[in-house]
Amino acid sequence: MPTTVVFTAKGREIVASRLIGATPSQTEPKNLGWGIGAGTAAASDIAPFQEAAEARVVGTSSQVTTTSTNDTYQVVGTLSSGSSQTITETFLSDSASKPAATTLSSAVSSTSSTSISVSSASGFPGSGNYNIQIDGEVMTVTGGQGTTTWTVTRGVNGSAAATHSAGATVTGGNTPGSSAVSAGNLLIHASFTGLALNSGDTLTATTKLSFS
Protein backbone atom coordinates (compact mmCIF):
# COMPACT_ATOMS: atom_id res chain seq x y z
CA MET A 1 0.00 0.00 0.00
CA PRO A 2 1.23 3.58 -0.63
CA THR A 3 3.12 4.82 2.42
CA THR A 4 4.67 8.11 3.53
CA VAL A 5 7.23 7.84 6.33
CA VAL A 6 9.21 10.82 7.61
CA PHE A 7 12.01 11.39 10.10
CA THR A 8 10.65 14.34 12.08
CA ALA A 9 12.50 17.51 13.06
CA LYS A 10 12.26 16.47 16.72
CA GLY A 11 13.55 13.05 15.75
CA ARG A 12 16.65 14.62 14.24
CA GLU A 13 17.12 16.56 17.48
CA ILE A 14 16.82 13.41 19.58
CA VAL A 15 19.36 11.55 17.45
CA ALA A 16 21.75 14.49 17.44
CA SER A 17 21.56 14.81 21.23
CA ARG A 18 22.26 11.11 21.62
CA LEU A 19 25.22 11.25 19.24
CA ILE A 20 26.90 14.16 21.03
CA GLY A 21 25.84 13.02 24.51
CA ALA A 22 24.21 16.35 25.42
CA THR A 23 21.21 14.70 27.09
CA PRO A 24 22.22 11.24 28.29
CA SER A 25 18.92 10.91 30.19
CA GLN A 26 16.84 11.12 27.00
CA THR A 27 14.18 8.40 27.11
CA GLU A 28 14.38 5.94 24.24
CA PRO A 29 11.59 6.67 21.73
CA LYS A 30 10.26 3.12 21.32
CA ASN A 31 6.60 3.56 22.30
CA LEU A 32 4.38 2.59 19.37
CA GLY A 33 0.98 4.13 18.72
CA TRP A 34 -1.49 4.41 15.88
CA GLY A 35 -4.15 6.84 14.72
CA ILE A 36 -7.21 7.39 12.57
CA GLY A 37 -6.56 10.94 11.35
CA ALA A 38 -6.35 12.16 7.78
CA GLY A 39 -3.20 13.73 6.41
CA THR A 40 0.29 13.11 5.09
CA ALA A 41 3.10 12.81 7.61
CA ALA A 42 5.59 15.70 7.56
CA ALA A 43 8.88 16.49 9.29
CA SER A 44 7.15 19.36 11.11
CA ASP A 45 4.72 17.02 12.92
CA ILE A 46 4.75 17.00 16.73
CA ALA A 47 1.79 14.65 17.24
CA PRO A 48 -0.37 12.13 15.41
CA PHE A 49 -3.27 13.63 13.46
CA GLN A 50 -5.84 11.81 15.62
CA GLU A 51 -4.63 9.11 17.99
CA ALA A 52 -6.84 6.04 18.30
CA ALA A 53 -8.34 4.92 21.61
CA GLU A 54 -5.91 2.07 22.23
CA ALA A 55 -2.98 2.55 24.62
CA ARG A 56 0.51 2.85 23.20
CA VAL A 57 2.73 -0.20 23.52
CA VAL A 58 6.42 -0.46 24.29
CA GLY A 59 8.18 -1.90 21.29
CA THR A 60 11.30 -4.05 21.19
CA SER A 61 14.28 -2.12 19.89
CA SER A 62 17.47 -3.36 18.28
CA GLN A 63 20.22 -2.37 15.90
CA VAL A 64 20.05 -4.08 12.53
CA THR A 65 22.04 -3.82 9.33
CA THR A 66 20.77 -2.10 6.19
CA THR A 67 23.99 -1.12 4.42
CA SER A 68 26.69 -1.27 7.04
CA THR A 69 26.82 -3.17 10.32
CA ASN A 70 24.22 -1.97 12.86
CA ASP A 71 23.47 1.18 10.88
CA THR A 72 19.71 1.00 11.49
CA TYR A 73 17.57 1.54 14.60
CA GLN A 74 14.59 -0.82 14.56
CA VAL A 75 11.48 -1.02 16.77
CA VAL A 76 8.93 -3.85 16.51
CA GLY A 77 5.62 -3.67 18.33
CA THR A 78 2.11 -5.13 18.12
CA LEU A 79 -1.13 -3.23 18.65
CA SER A 80 -4.60 -4.77 19.04
CA SER A 81 -7.74 -3.04 17.83
CA GLY A 82 -10.51 -2.56 20.38
CA SER A 83 -13.14 -1.72 17.77
CA SER A 84 -13.86 -1.66 14.05
CA GLN A 85 -11.79 1.23 12.73
CA THR A 86 -9.55 2.32 9.89
CA ILE A 87 -5.94 2.96 10.85
CA THR A 88 -4.15 5.59 8.77
CA GLU A 89 -0.99 6.38 10.77
CA THR A 90 1.58 4.90 13.11
CA PHE A 91 4.30 6.61 15.11
CA LEU A 92 7.09 6.22 17.65
CA SER A 93 7.28 8.40 20.78
CA ASP A 94 9.50 8.49 23.85
CA SER A 95 6.43 8.33 26.13
CA ALA A 96 3.86 5.63 26.80
CA SER A 97 1.35 8.32 27.80
CA LYS A 98 -0.88 10.22 25.38
CA PRO A 99 -0.65 14.02 25.17
CA ALA A 100 -3.47 16.40 26.04
CA ALA A 101 -6.05 16.60 23.27
CA THR A 102 -9.28 18.45 22.54
CA THR A 103 -11.22 19.60 19.46
CA LEU A 104 -11.91 22.90 17.73
CA SER A 105 -15.28 24.28 18.81
CA SER A 106 -15.41 26.47 15.69
CA ALA A 107 -13.68 26.40 12.33
CA VAL A 108 -10.43 28.20 11.59
CA SER A 109 -11.43 29.71 8.26
CA SER A 110 -8.42 31.96 7.70
CA THR A 111 -4.72 31.15 7.48
CA SER A 112 -3.92 34.49 9.13
CA SER A 113 -6.26 34.24 12.12
CA THR A 114 -4.41 34.33 15.45
CA SER A 115 -7.29 33.18 17.66
CA ILE A 116 -8.80 29.71 17.94
CA SER A 117 -11.61 28.31 20.10
CA VAL A 118 -11.39 24.83 21.60
CA SER A 119 -13.92 22.61 23.34
CA SER A 120 -11.83 22.16 26.50
CA ALA A 121 -8.52 23.29 27.97
CA SER A 122 -8.29 20.27 30.25
CA GLY A 123 -4.78 18.81 30.40
CA PHE A 124 -3.16 21.80 28.70
CA PRO A 125 -0.96 24.19 30.69
CA GLY A 126 -2.62 27.16 32.37
CA SER A 127 0.36 29.40 31.68
CA GLY A 128 3.43 29.61 29.47
CA ASN A 129 3.75 29.02 25.75
CA TYR A 130 3.22 25.54 24.34
CA ASN A 131 2.81 23.85 20.98
CA ILE A 132 -0.26 22.19 19.50
CA GLN A 133 -0.98 20.43 16.21
CA ILE A 134 -4.22 20.63 14.18
CA ASP A 135 -4.25 18.45 11.07
CA GLY A 136 -0.82 19.15 9.53
CA GLU A 137 -0.31 22.58 11.07
CA VAL A 138 1.70 23.25 14.24
CA MET A 139 0.87 26.36 16.29
CA THR A 140 2.28 27.93 19.45
CA VAL A 141 -0.25 29.02 22.07
CA THR A 142 0.89 32.40 23.39
CA GLY A 143 -2.24 33.65 25.18
CA GLY A 144 -5.52 32.52 26.72
CA GLN A 145 -3.92 29.59 28.53
CA GLY A 146 -6.42 27.96 30.88
CA THR A 147 -9.39 29.22 28.84
CA THR A 148 -11.05 27.89 25.69
CA THR A 149 -9.98 30.81 23.48
CA TRP A 150 -6.29 30.76 22.63
CA THR A 151 -4.03 33.26 20.93
CA VAL A 152 -1.70 31.40 18.60
CA THR A 153 1.28 31.84 16.33
CA ARG A 154 0.51 30.08 13.07
CA GLY A 155 2.58 27.71 10.95
CA VAL A 156 5.47 27.04 13.32
CA ASN A 157 8.08 24.26 13.26
CA GLY A 158 8.24 24.43 9.48
CA SER A 159 4.54 23.68 8.96
CA ALA A 160 2.18 25.72 6.76
CA ALA A 161 -0.81 27.69 8.05
CA ALA A 162 -4.07 26.15 6.83
CA THR A 163 -7.82 26.23 7.41
CA HIS A 164 -9.36 23.72 9.82
CA SER A 165 -12.90 22.45 10.33
CA ALA A 166 -14.88 22.60 13.54
CA GLY A 167 -14.36 19.34 15.41
CA ALA A 168 -10.78 18.91 14.20
CA THR A 169 -8.48 17.30 16.75
CA VAL A 170 -6.11 19.60 18.66
CA THR A 171 -3.13 17.79 20.21
CA GLY A 172 -0.17 18.98 22.27
CA GLY A 173 3.37 17.74 21.85
CA ASN A 174 7.13 18.35 21.88
CA THR A 175 7.00 21.00 24.59
CA PRO A 176 9.97 20.62 26.96
CA GLY A 177 9.10 21.31 30.59
CA SER A 178 5.34 20.94 30.08
CA SER A 179 4.68 17.27 30.70
CA ALA A 180 0.91 17.76 30.81
CA VAL A 181 0.83 18.76 27.18
CA SER A 182 4.00 17.14 25.90
CA ALA A 183 3.56 13.50 26.88
CA GLY A 184 6.67 12.75 24.91
CA ASN A 185 8.43 13.63 21.71
CA LEU A 186 7.55 12.29 18.28
CA LEU A 187 10.47 10.49 16.61
CA ILE A 188 8.87 8.94 13.53
CA HIS A 189 5.44 9.52 12.00
CA ALA A 190 4.09 7.35 9.17
CA SER A 191 0.87 7.89 7.22
CA PHE A 192 -0.63 5.47 4.72
CA THR A 193 -3.76 4.37 2.89
CA GLY A 194 -6.39 3.32 5.43
CA LEU A 195 -6.12 -0.19 6.87
CA ALA A 196 -9.58 -1.42 7.94
CA LEU A 197 -9.53 -3.46 11.16
CA ASN A 198 -12.16 -5.34 13.12
CA SER A 199 -12.25 -5.55 16.90
CA GLY A 200 -9.54 -7.96 18.03
CA ASP A 201 -7.42 -7.59 14.90
CA THR A 202 -3.72 -7.03 15.54
CA LEU A 203 -1.05 -5.14 13.64
CA THR A 204 2.67 -5.74 14.06
CA ALA A 205 4.65 -2.71 12.95
CA THR A 206 8.36 -2.81 12.16
CA THR A 207 9.78 0.72 12.12
CA LYS A 208 13.33 1.34 10.94
CA LEU A 209 15.47 4.47 11.06
CA SER A 210 18.59 4.35 8.91
CA PHE A 211 20.96 6.96 7.53
CA SER A 212 22.41 7.20 4.04
What string of DSSP letters covers the chain? Answer: --EEEEE-HHHHHHHHHHHHTS-TTPPP--EEEEE---S---TT--S-SSB-SSPPEEPEEEEE-SSSTT-EEEEEEEEE-SSSEEEEEEEEES-SSPPPEEEBSS-B--TT--EEEBS--TTS-SSS-EEEEETTEEEEEEE-TTSSEEEEE-S-TT-----B-TT-EEEE---TT-HHHHSS-EEEEEEEEEEEE-TT-EEEEEEEEE--
- Same-domain pairing of 14 and 92: yes
At 17, is the pLDDT very low, low, confident or very high (cuts 50, 70, 90)? low
- Do 94 and 188 fall into the same domain? yes
**Same domain as 75, residue 158:** no
Residues 192 and 155 in one domain: no
Q: Assess whether 71 and 26 both reside in one domain.
A: yes
The residue ranking higher by pLDDT, 88 or 63, is 88
* Between residues 130 and 70, the one the model is more confident about: 130
23 and 83 share a domain? yes
**Where in the sequence is the domain holding 48, given as residue range(s)?**
3-98+184-210
Q: What is the mean pLDDT of residues 20-46?
A: 84
Q: What is the pLDDT of residue 185?
A: 87
Tell me the pLDDT tens digit for each residue of 119-155.
Answer: 999 999 999 999 999 999 999 999 999 999 999 999 9
Co-location of 67 and 47 in the same domain: yes
Q: How many domains does the chain have?
A: 2
pLDDT at 56 over 70: yes
pTM over 0.85: yes
- From 19-23, 58-62, 163-167, 189-193, the region with the lowest mean pLDDT: 19-23
49 and 105 part of one domain? no
Same domain, 115 and 130: yes
Q: Are residues 90 and 193 in the same domain?
A: yes
